[in-house]
Structures are given as C-alpha cells and as structure tokens.
Amino acid sequence: MTSFLILAFPLFGFLLLNVFGCFFSKRVSGFLASASVLASFAVSVLMLRDVFLAGAIRVPLFTWFQVGQTNVSFALLLDSLSLLMCLMITGVGFLIHVYSIGYMHEEEGFTRYFSHLNLFIFFMLFLVLSDSFLGMFVGWEGVGLCSYLLIGFWFQTAAFGQAAKKAFLMNRVGDLGFILGILAMIMAFGSTQFSVVFSGASQLPIGSGIITVIALLLFVGATGKSAQIPLFTWLPDAMAGPTPVSALIHAATMVTAGVYMVARSHVFYMSSPIASTVVLCVGVSTALLGAIIATRQSDIKKILAYSTMSQLGLMVSALGLGAYSAALFHMLTHAFFKALLFLAAGSVIHALHGEQNVFKMGGLRKSLPFTFGVFLIGALALAGFPPFSGFFSKDMILLAALDHSPLVFGLLVLVSILTAYYVCRLVVLVFMGTSRSDKTAHESSWIMQIPLGILAIFAAASGFLHLPEALHPEFIVVTLLAIGLMIAWCYRRFSQVQTSDEKTGIVFRKFYIDEIYNGLIVRPILLLARFFWTIFEPVILELPATILGKSVMFSGRRLKQIQNGHIGFYLLVMTAAIAVILVQLLWI
C-alpha cells in the first residue's frame, strides 16, 4: 500500500495549499509544495526494489463503478514503465518546484501557483499509475485542466487567457478521440483494464479492424496531448504561462503523456500495421515541421516550444517504428535537457526583466556565466552532441529508422541537422556577440541555480543510463563533425547580428497554419454559431413559443373583461351554465 503514498503526497499538498494557503507565507507554501513532491519521489525510489523483484505490482484500491457486465475498479499498476514515468515526473517536478520558489517569488498568486503545480503532479502520477484506460483518462483530463489553469496563470492579460483556452479546446478535440477509443475498447473487450484489454487484443489476428480503429482513436488523443500534427498549434501559445510551467508541463511531463499512452498500448500498434504507419507519418512530419519553424522564430520560449514539438515528433516516429524503448529513452533524456533549457531560458528572461526576444539579447555569457554553462549543456544535449544524453537517445531512434527505411532515416537525419542549427543559432544569439539589450543582466539566486545544476548533470550524463550494445564510432565522428561545423557556421552567421531581419517569410509566419485553422475551422464554426444565435434561435425556436405565449396573454386580457365584479352577472352566467348542463344531460 505504500505505493498509494506516491499519489497521496501531491494531492495532500494541493489540498493543504488550497484550503489553508491564505495562512502560509510564500516561503512556507513553496516549501510545502516542493516537500510533497520530494516525498512522492522518495516513495517512488523505495518502490524501485519491489518492482525490480516482482516485475509488476498491481495495487487494487477500490471499485469505482459497475455498469452491467463492466466493472471499473481503480487500481495502481507499478511496472518498470510507470515507475520510470513516476521518477521522471516527481524528480524533474521537484527540481522545477524548487526553481519556481525563486522564479515566482514576486508574483501575486504564489500559493495558487504552487497548489496548481501540486495538483498537476497528482494528476500526472494518476495518469501513469492507473491500470486501466479509464483511470488514465481521468489523469489525462486532470493534467489538461492544470495545464489550462497554469497557462492562464496571468489571466489578467487577455491574450494569455486566450492561449489557455486554445490549449484546453485543442486538447478536447484529441480527448474526444481518446473517449471514442475507450468506448470501442469496452465494446470489443468489455473492459478497459490493461491486462484484460491487451490479452484480448493479442488473441485477435494482426491487422484486424477493431484493433486498428482503437489504435487510431487512441492516437488522436495522443496527437492532442503531445502536440502532433494536426493538433499542435496550442503548444507554442502555451508558452504564455510562467516559464517553469512550460518546463514542467509543456516540455518534460504532460506532453509526453501521449508518448506514454502509445507505448503503454503498444500491443494495439504492434498488431495494426496501418496504425503504426499513421503514427510514423505523423511523427516524422511533426518533427520536420517543428524543426523548420523553430529555425526562424525570435521568441526564446517559442523556439524551445517548437523544438519540443519536433522532439515529440521524433519520439512518436520511434513509436511508429516499433522502437518503444528508444522512444521512452528519448522521452527521459528530453525531459532532462528540455526542462533544463526552459529553466535556463527562464533564468535569462528573469535576468532581463521579462525580455523574450533573442534579437534583443546577446553577449550574456559574461554577465550570466552559470546560466550560460547549463544552457550550453542543455543545448548540446538537444543537438545530440556526443557524449551528452541526447546523442544516445537520438542514436537509438535513428538506428531504428535505418532498419525500417532509408527515407525515414533521411528525414530524421534532416530533423537532427535542423535541430543542431536552431540550437546553435539560439545559443549564439543569446549568449555570444555583444549585448543588444539596454538592461543590465544579473545572475539569479542560488535557489534557481541548484535545480539548474542538478538538471545539467542529468542532461549531460543520463545518456549513460542506457548505453547501446554496440557504439558506432562512425556515428560519433559524423555527429561531432556535423555539429561542430554547424556551431562554427552559426557563430559566424549570428554573433554579429544587430537586429532581427527575419520578420517575414512563410517559415516565420509558421506556414500560416494558425491562419489556415482559423479560416477553415474556427471561422466556419463561429459563423455557424452566429447563424444559430441570430437566425436559428430567435426565428425557428423562439418565434413559435413567442406566438403561443402572446396569444395566450392576448386571450387572457380579453377574457378578463368577463369578470366584471357584478354579482348579478355572475349569477346569470351560473344559471345559464347550469341550464346548458341540464339540457345536455337530459336531452343529448
């Protein structure tokens, strides 16, 4: 039952901060929130041994509900996959909590921020620990809610509130697919519990229709949560939230939920070649699109957001290739180095008092040496520079692609080259050259530096957690050369840039995808809504009701005049009525 505590601590932290938060000072609430996540992390570490010995532990908690033959019980499932996720969520989550204490210390809603952060950790753990798709869906919705709340943390700014709504609504589209997938699953297997569903699925022949349908529907959910084509446009806008939120939710944990879900239900995808192909295509095109857009952005967080989208595309491609361990490994290393990059970017933004445009930075390596160091580690890891972590995980994915088809391999190599390019461009623009900012930067406090340092160690070294069986020296040499050349070229190209000259072009405008979505989907829906609002409702629905009501009121006004108050008249009417009734009774 100790595994239950993994979930209990963050929930307790959320309740405590939400109910009694007004009595706590900022220091206390930040400490409580971080401590609850750390406790959860400690319990996860303690569970490692049990899981290692037992393989998988199922902890039944309670029966949720029962409908007909379908019995939905809520249970925790601890196996290597869910425990890996738990460690990643609570570990990175704890560091980001600590960082947030420093980053958010001037904010008004400090306690609200931390209570939502704890709630997010709770739902994320709920998502990865539950042993049925329905339980996963509960966590899935919960993290969507927390994402909405935290993107809209500065809801006083209307644009940020809009970004929060956009993220929420786009996720809803994906969630619809997820729900339909769950329903199809209940129809096919009568349960949503992993063990039942997967044993049922493995008995069906490969390529059977129902499996393909379920797999594709689940993948629709994954595209929403993991920002894949076509439901990705919310992720860059989600950068409206505080930077630690972007690090935690929109880089390290929540957006990997889709990858986790596909990896968890790999039985479906292995027995459905069509679904796997779709996953592969979506993943590769998302990786390419994100990387291309990231090369032309000027907002430091947007660059990282498109990079996240691209890396998620890489993970999804690995899932489509059937290289599940490679996908999960890249997810883990990505969680470290992307969280590190976001937090370091937050440190830069903090130092420049909210400046996010990279063309107004420059030369920061002198004033922010520590941030420069950790950012460089994160950037090299993201670019896949050996021996940093990103190299090993990308290497695994690329090797899997090479086994599959040269085309996919070529595209993914192209993605990696683009990745190296935009990362080098980012580092050079922010840290090299001379300062283009009129503000003086100052290094952030120790409470923000410690998490950065720890994450930097993991970003550098986590590649060694899972060394490939055979290292390919030619891979290492080619990568070293390629990235080295890229760095040199970017340095020449961008170190002396004075102002942004890249405000135009189809890539800067993100291929007009937001505009296309607006034109094709949002505007027609708004027009339809306007039609219902101005024509359908008043004319078709309200008019008959209005006519009925008005006629009743009109006849009421006319009939009222009969009741004139003269008793003689009343008696006359009464007598006449009785006479009529008598006549009716006697003769008719």
Site string for other proteins, 510-549 (x = CB under 8 A): ----------------------------------------
Of these, 575, 577, 581, 582, which contacts other proteins (CB under 8 A)? Answer: 575
Find the shortest distance in angstroms from Cβ 577 to other proteins. 13
Find the shortest distance in angstroms from Cβ 570 to other proteins. 8
State the greatest distance between any 2 C-alpha atoms of the chain, in Å, as a whole number. 116
Q: Are 246 and 342 in contact (CB under 8 A)?
A: yes
| Binding window for other proteins (CB under 8 A); candidates: 338-346, 371-379, 398-406, 559-567 | 559-567
| Binding window for other proteins (CB under 8 A); candidates: 436-444, 523-531, 544-552, 557-565 | 557-565
| Binding window for other proteins (CB under 8 A); candidates: 29-37, 399-407, 471-479, 570-578 | 570-578
Q: What SS3 state is found at 78?
A: strand
| Binding window for other proteins (CB under 8 A); candidates: 387-395, 444-452, 517-525, 560-568 | 560-568
Nearer to other proteins, 564 or 584 (CB): 564
Nearest to 248 by CA among 150, 131, 173, 330: 150
Q: Are 57 and 11 in contact (CB under 8 A)?
A: no
Find the shortest distance in angstroms from Cβ 562 to other proteins. 9
Task: Tell me the backbone φ, ψ of residue 45, rounded to 5 degrees.
Answer: -65, -40
Separation of alpha carbons 22 and 507, rounded Å = 47
Terminal C-alpha separation, the chain? 84
Find the shortest distance in angstroms from Cβ 571 to other proteins. 6
Q: Burial letters for 508-543: b for 16+ Cβ neighbours within 10 Å, e otherwise?
A: eebeeeeeeeeeeeeeeeeeeeeeeeeeeeeeeeee
Residues 14-43 that bind other proteins (CB under 8 A): none
Regarding 563 and contact with other proteins (CB under 8 A), the answer is: yes
Spell out the residues 6+ positions from residue 252 whose beta carbon is closer than 8 angstroms to its own.
Answer: 88, 89, 92, 93, 96, 334, 335, 336, 338, 339
Taken in order 170, 258, 138, 94, the sign of the CA dihedral is negative
Nearer to other proteins, 49 or 560 (CB): 560
Separation of alpha carbons 43 and 376, rounded Å = 33
Task: Tell me the backbone φ, ψ of residue 63, rounded to 5 degrees.
Answer: -85, 125
Separation of alpha carbons 99 and 91, rounded Å = 13
Where are any strands of DSSP class E within 30-90? 57-67, 70-78
Q: Are 304 and 238 in contact (CB under 8 A)?
A: no
Find the shortest distance in angstroms from Cβ 580 to other proteins. 15
DSSP string, 459-507: HHHGGGGG--SS--HHHHHHHHHHHHHHHHHHHHHHTT--S---S-STT
Regarding 557 and contact with other proteins (CB under 8 A), the answer is: no
Across-strand partners of 57?
A: 78
Regarding 566 and contact with other proteins (CB under 8 A), the answer is: yes
| Binding window for other proteins (CB under 8 A); candidates: 132-140, 337-345, 499-507, 564-572 | 564-572
| Binding window for other proteins (CB under 8 A); candidates: 197-205, 476-484, 493-501, 571-579 | 571-579
Find the shortest distance in angstroms from Cβ 586 to other proteins. 14
Separation of alpha carbons 566 and 543, rounded Å = 39
Regarding 588 and contact with other proteins (CB under 8 A), the answer is: no
Find the shortest distance in angstroms from Cβ 65 to other proteins. 54
Regarding 558 and contact with other proteins (CB under 8 A), the answer is: no
Find the shortest distance in angstroms from Cβ 564 to other proteins. 6
Distance between alpha carbon 354 and the CA centroid of its chain, in Å?
24
Of these, 1, 62, 470, 560, which contacts other proteins (CB under 8 A)? Answer: 560
Nearest to 3 by CA among 54, 55, 58: 58
Across-strand partners of 59?
A: 76
Find the shortest distance in angstroms from Cβ 555 to other proteins. 14
Of these, 535, 571, 577, 583, which contacts other proteins (CB under 8 A)? Answer: 571
Nearest to 193 by CA among 58, 6, 381, 84: 58
| Binding window for other proteins (CB under 8 A); candidates: 19-27, 197-205, 227-235, 561-569 | 561-569
DSSP 204: S
In one letter, which amino acid is 137?
Answer: F
Nearer to other proteins, 505 or 565 (CB): 565
Regarding 565 and contact with other proteins (CB under 8 A), the answer is: yes
Find the shortest distance in angstroms from Cβ 578 to other proteins. 10
Taking the CB of residue 9, how many other CB atoms lie within 10 A of it?
Answer: 24
Nearer to other proteins, 354 or 556 (CB): 556
Find the shortest distance in angstroms from Cβ 575 to other proteins. 7
Regarding 568 and contact with other proteins (CB under 8 A), the answer is: yes
Spell out the residues 6+ positions from residue 447 whose beta carbon is closer than 8 angstroms to its own.
Answer: 98, 99, 101, 102
Nearer to other proteins, 203 or 575 (CB): 575
Nearer to other proteins, 567 or 586 (CB): 567
Nearer to other proteins, 46 or 572 (CB): 572
Of these, 439, 535, 570, 582, which contacts other proteins (CB under 8 A)? Answer: 570
Of these, 547, 572, 581, 583, which contacts other proteins (CB under 8 A)? Answer: 572
Of these, 501, 564, 584, 587, which contacts other proteins (CB under 8 A)? Answer: 564
Find the shortest distance in angstroms from Cβ 581 to other proteins. 15
Nearest to 305 by CA among 359, 352, 341: 341
Of these, 567, 585, 586, 588, which contacts other proteins (CB under 8 A)? Answer: 567
Nearer to other proteins, 539 or 578 (CB): 578
Find the shortest distance in angstroms from Cβ 569 to other proteins. 9
| Cα Rg, the chain, nearest whole Å | 30
Query: Which residues are at the interface with other proteins (CB under 8 A)?
Result: 560, 563-568, 570-572, 575
